[in-house]
Structures are given as structure tokens and as C-alpha cells.
């Protein structure tokens, strides 16, 4: 808990209450209202919890006004350009960048746990072929608790560590199998000679009939997508994982809950919504029409993939993602893909338009990640599963931190009740 450096005074019905004020290492001060209900018999009201700190954390810090995203104090653009996903995983989980020896051991541990229990293949075959891959992932990840009994005791530090490695290692396999199942192709087993991102691409795009070579530019772009989505502070899905965890649920159930929350179009589905918008635009010559609609305050149309709820000036992840998008498009080209042609021209016209500059409607990470995944050949239905794969380490880091918090309590939000008060039951014949 941050140091109590000041006191806020609340006057209510003639009485004054002293509320401790905690100063964080970054961000606004926090008024501690934990004893307010007991002392004053009042709740606070904050729909969406947008002004409420539900926990203290040392993992990720965001300053949306300044366009800052730090993992354990390290800027995201440095991590994305100089590091790689598994090193960032280590940083999020353990608080410091690893030595070469520790990183090698961690990578080996993850690499050697990528296979899933063979009987779990039957779970995939229980779904319809046209099931959304996120539906499949929610079911399969939740079912992992039925197969890995030796890593479900949250009170055992060793079992928590085993569950951590298993989830990070197996999530690419689960996501790739969900994809393969949806397109009617055989599952491809993981390969220990490939790195994390290359292995995922291999499991998604290799087929038994011929050899598949992972292009290093595509592998690097995929690794950056993973890195840039690894954690994002106390967002909806992370809060869902923490809330599920507060009840003592096993780690696989908690992560399945996070996947379910991420599925929503207002959260993890943003890059899918962006690609669907590009398909709606259709051809570059229609872009001025849609830009005009975006400027019209009476038109409900919005440019998806532009601006961000948290970042008010620019998305620090977008700069690195744009670099990857340019590299991938240079490699694969856009000539035969009308969606990518629209994306490149829309980016150009929007960045040159004073209206978007004034409103700070910049292309965000979802815009560029959607372009990259489309260029690689992923259907839009796989965008959110890939996001879930990448975010798993953030969820687990937050889960582990919460379990070590001596202030941990089961989550129990209050409400502003506006319904009927007590009334007597009326027999049906008298209604």
C-alpha cells in the first residue's frame, strides 16, 4: 500500500470524516474510502469503476494524457523494439529483466510445455466447425483444470508457478488448434526448435502435405503483436480475472473468464471491428465519403481503429506497430488485397486531415495489428483469440500479484438501488 501522505475531509449531514490519501509512484493520489461505509453508512457511486482504484499494483502504469505505457518501469516502445515477447513475459511475472541464463531457462521451460493433453483434442471436436474460435478457447481453457490437477491449488506457490508456465506455453497451441478446427484442417503439433511466435505461425499455417517455413519478418511482427498486447493495467478483462480470482477460483477458470470478457467488441474485438469497417468502405475512392461521415456529429458512424479511450494524444504502442505493418506490407504487398489498399489510403488521408489532428484521432494499435493479421492471412475471427493469447501473461501476472496481496478480499461491488421496497405478494387471481 502506498504511503498515507495526507487526509481528505468529507462533510456529510453535519459530520466530518477524515479519509486517508495515498500517493502512488505515478498517477493521481487515491482517497481511501474503505472505512467510509462503516463510519458514515454511505456508499460511493462510480459506474464502470472509472474513478476507482480496486487494487494497488507494481506491474503496469499508464498515463493516457502523456501517451505513456510502462511495464515494471520500462517504456513499451523500448520493449517492443529491443526485447521480445518471452523476455517481456519474464519481466511482467518476476519484476525485473532476466539475465541471459535466466532467460534461457525460462524460454526452455515454456518451450517444453507447449503440447496439450492428447485427450483434449476431443473438446475441439465437440464444437461445430463454424463456432467462433473465442467460444472454443473459453471452453478449452476452462477445461484445462480437469486435466492439470497438480496446478490448481492456489495456496501452493509451486502449483501457481506450474500453472503460470502451462498457460503461457499452451495458449498458442490452443489458439492455433481453434483456428485449424474452424477451417477443417488437421491440428499441427508444436515444434521445440522454433521460437514462441514462429511456433504459433507454424501451428496455424503448416499442413502435413508440404513443408512450411516461417518468414522471420512475419515472425517478428507476430512477436511484436504479442508484446504490445501483453498487459494494459486494470482493464475490463484484467479486472474480470482479478474478480474471479478473489473468490479462490483455480487459475484456468480465471483465465477463461478473462477470455470471455475480452471477447466483447468494446474490448478485444476492436481490431476485428476495424477490419470490418475497412470491408464496409470497400475501395479507396469511397474513403472521402466515410471521412465526411466520421466528421458529421449527427452520423453514428465512427472510424474504428482511430483514437483511444485511454490515450489522449497518441498510443505509444502504435508507432512500433506501424513499423511492423510497413515491413509486412512491403513483404507481402497490397496490390491484390483491396482491404489493405483501403487501410493504407485511409491512414494517409486521416493523418493529413486537420480535423483528425485536432481531435487527436490517431491510428491506434488495433488499426495496425488488424492490418498485419489480415496481411498474414488470418480471418477476422482469429484476431481476438490472438489478443487473448498475448494478454494471458498479463492476466497471470495480475493474478499472481493479487494472491500475494495481504489485503485480498472477495470482490463485492455495491449498488445504488432504485427498485421497489418491500411489498406483499398478490395471489394470481387478484392481479
CA distances from 54 to 234, 235, 411 (A): 9, 11, 9
Q: Which residues pair with 31 in a beta bridge?
A: 21
The CA distance from 348 to 327, in Å, is 17
What crossing angle do the helices spanning 383-403 and 157-182 adopt, rounded to 10°?
Answer: 170
Indicate if 366 belongs to the active site. yes
**Phi and psi dihedrals of 61, rounded to 5?**
-130, 135
Catalytic position from the list 308, 353, 404, 427:
308
Catalytic position from the list 366, 404, 405, 424:
366
CA distances from 133 to 110, 140, 155, 367 (A): 23, 10, 32, 21
CA distances from 176 to 86, 130, 180, 356, 366 (A): 18, 15, 6, 37, 21
* DSSP states of 301-325: ---TTBS-SS-SS--HHHHHHHHHH
What are the percentages of helix, strand and coil residues in the chain, rounded to 5?
55, 10, 40
In the chain, the N- to C-terminal Cα span, in Å, equals 56
**Phi and psi dihedrals of 265, rounded to 5?**
-65, -20
The CA distance from 54 to 33, in Å, is 11
- Per-residue DSSP letter, 98: P
Residue 120 and residue 140 in contact, taking contact as beta carbons nearer than 8 Å: yes
In this structure, what C-alpha cell is assigned to residue 29?
A: 493520489
The CA distance from 100 to 223, in Å, is 19
Find the largest Cα–Cα distance for the chain: 80
Indicate if 132 belongs to the active site. no
Q: Which residues participate in catalysis according to the annotation?
A: 308, 366
Amino acid at each position: 500500500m502506498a504511503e498515507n501522505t495526507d487526509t481528505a475531509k468529507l462533510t456529510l449531514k453535519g459530520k466530518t470524516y477524515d479519509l486517508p490519501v495515498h500517493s502512488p509512484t505515478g498517477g493521481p493520489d487515491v482517497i481511501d474510502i474503505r472505512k467510509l461505509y462503516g463510519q458514515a453508512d454511505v456508499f460511493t457511486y462510480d459506474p464502470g469503476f472509472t474513478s476507482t482504484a480496486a487494487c494497488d499494483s507494481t506491474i503496469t502504469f499508464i498515463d493516457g494524457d502523456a501517451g505513456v505505457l510502462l511495464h515494471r518501469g520500462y517504456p513499451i516502445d523500448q520493449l517492443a523494439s529491443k526485447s521480445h515477447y518471452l523476455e517481456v513475459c519474464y519481466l511482467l511475472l518476476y519484476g525485473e529483466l532476466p539475465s541471459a541464463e535466466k532467460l534461457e531457462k525460462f524460454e526452455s521451460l515454456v518451450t517444453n510445455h507447449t503440447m496439450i493433453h492428447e485427450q483434449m483434442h476431443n473438446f475441439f471436436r465437440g464444437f461445430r466447425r463454424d463456432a467462433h474460435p473465442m467460444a472454443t478457447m473459453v471452453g478449452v481453457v476452462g477445461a484445462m483444470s480437469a486435466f492439470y490437477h497438480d496446478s490448481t491449488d492456489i495456496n501452493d506457490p509451486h502449483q501457481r508457478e506450474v500453472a503460470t508456465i502451462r498457460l503461457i506455453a499452451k495458449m498458442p497451441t490452443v489458439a492455433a488448434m481453434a483456428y485449424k478446427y474452424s477451417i477443417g484442417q488437421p491440428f499441427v503439433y508444436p515444434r521445440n526448435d522454433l521460437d514462441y511466435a514462429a511456433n504459433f505461425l507454424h501451428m496455424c499455417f503448416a499442413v502435413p502435405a508440404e513443408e512450411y517455413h516461417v518468414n522471420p519478418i512475419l515472425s517478428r511482427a507476430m512477436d511484436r503483436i504479442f508484446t504490445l498486447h501483453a498487459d494494459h493495467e486494470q482493464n475490463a478483462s484484467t479486472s474480470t480475472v482479478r474478480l474471479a480470482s478473489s473468490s479462490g477460483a483455480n487459475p484456468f477458470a480465471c483465465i477463461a473468464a478473462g477470455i470471455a470478457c475480452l471477447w466483447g467488441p468494446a474490448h478485444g474485438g476492436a481490431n476485428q471491428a476495424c477490419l470490418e469497417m475497412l470491408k464496409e468502405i470497400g475501395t479507396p475512392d469511397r474513403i472521402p465519403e466515410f471521412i465526411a461521415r466520421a466528421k458529421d456529429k449527427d452520423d453514428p458512424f465512427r472510424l474504428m481503429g482511430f483514437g483511444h479511450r485511454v490515450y489522449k494524444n497518441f498510443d505509444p504502442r502504435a508507432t512500433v506497430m506501424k513499423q511492423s505493418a510497413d515491413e509486412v506490407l512491403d513483404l507481402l504487398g497490397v496490390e491484390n488485397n483491396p482491404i489493405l489498399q483501403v487501410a493504407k489510403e485511409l491512414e494517409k488521408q486521416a493523418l493529413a486531415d486537420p480535423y483528425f489532428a485536432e481531435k487527436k484521432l490517431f491510428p491506434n494499435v488495433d488499426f495496425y495489428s488488424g492490418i498485419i493479421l489480415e496481411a498474414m492471412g488470418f480471418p477476422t475471427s482469429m484476431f481476438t483469440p490472438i489478443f487473448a493469447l498475448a494478454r494471458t501473461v498479463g492476466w497471470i501476472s495480475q493474478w499472481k500479484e493479487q494472491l500475494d496481496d495481504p489485503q485480498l478480499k472477495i470482490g463485492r461491488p455495491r449498488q445504488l438501488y432504485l427498485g421497489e421496497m418491500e411489498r406483499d405478494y398478490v395471489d394470481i387471481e387478484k392481479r
